[in-house]
Amino acid sequence: MIDIRTRLRAGKPCLGAWLGIPHPQSAEAMASLGFHWLAVDMEHGTASVDQAAACFLAAERHGCLPMARLPSADPYLARRLLDGGARGLIVPVVEDAGAFAAFAAHCLYPPKGRRGVGLQRANRWGDDFEAALAGPGPLLVPQIETAKGVAAAGAIAALDAVDALFLGPYDLSADLGAPGDWQAPAFKDAIGAVRTAAGKAGKPTGIHQVTPDAKALAEVLAAGHRFVACSTDIIAMRAALAPLAALGR
C-alpha cells in the first residue's frame, strides 16, 4: 500500500479520490485509476459503517490508502471505522488544538493513546496484533474551514498526531462571508495564513479541488498543497455527462 506519510515528508503530492457513492464498485473504479488515497465522505454522503468498510476493501485491492471523512470529531465512530479498515481519517471543522488532541488519543493504541484494543479486521483478527499496537497509527488530517480554525492552525499543526492540514474551501469561504469566491481577499489571506502556520510546524497542507479540472489541479499543486482531493465521483460523473445530456434538449 502507498506510504502517504513518506510521500508527504518528501514533499511529494498525494492525490485522493473523494467517494460520495457508498458502493465498492464506485470505490474500485476510482482507486484503480492510481489515486494515492480514497476518502469515503461520511459528512455529506450517505455511507454507513458497513458500506464504508466495503469501500475500504475495494481501495486496498489497488494499493490505495482507505480513509473516511467523519461527520464530526466523534471518537467512537472513528474507532469503529479504524477497526473496519480505515487507515486514515479526515476530521471536519477543527478549531481547537486541545480538542483535536483529545480526539486523536482515541485513534491511537496505548501507551500513545486510548483506542480500544480488540481483535478486528484492522489487525487481521489478532494475526497482526503486535504489529498493529506498535505501528504509527492512522493518518490524521484535521480540516481547517472556519476563521477560528485559521487562527488555531499553528497549534493544531504542531500536534504530533497531525499529518497535514486540509482546507475546506466552501465552508471556509462561507464562514468568511464570501461563499464560493476563491478570489476574495479574506479567503486568500486565510489560505496563506494556514499554509504559513503548517509550514512552521513542518506539516503539509491540502485542499479539495472540487471541479474535475486538470489545469486547476495543477495550479493547486503549484501553490504548494500536497494532500489534495480531486473532485468527487458524483461531480466528475455529472461534469462528463452534462454536455451529452445537453445535446438532447
Residues of the chain with pLDDT under 70: none
User: Each residue of 67-92: pLDDT tens digit?
Assistant: 999 999 999 999 999 999 999 999 99
- How far apart are alpha carbons 42 and 229 in whole angstroms? 15
> How distant, in Å, are the alpha carbons of 109, 131, 152 from that of 13?
28, 28, 25
Domain span at 124 = 4-246
Q: What is the pLDDT of residue 135?
A: 85
Q: What is the pLDDT of residue 201?
A: 97
Residues taking part in catalysis: 44
* Count of structural domains within the chain: 1
Please report, for the domain that includes residue 123, its CATH number: 3.20.20.60
Q: What is the pLDDT of residue 129?
A: 85
User: Each residue of 174-193: pLDDT tens digit?
Assistant: 999 999 998 999 999 999 99
Question: Do residues 4 and 194 touch, judged by C-beta distance below 8 A?
Answer: no
- Backbone torsions φ then ψ of 217, nearest 5 degrees: -65, -40
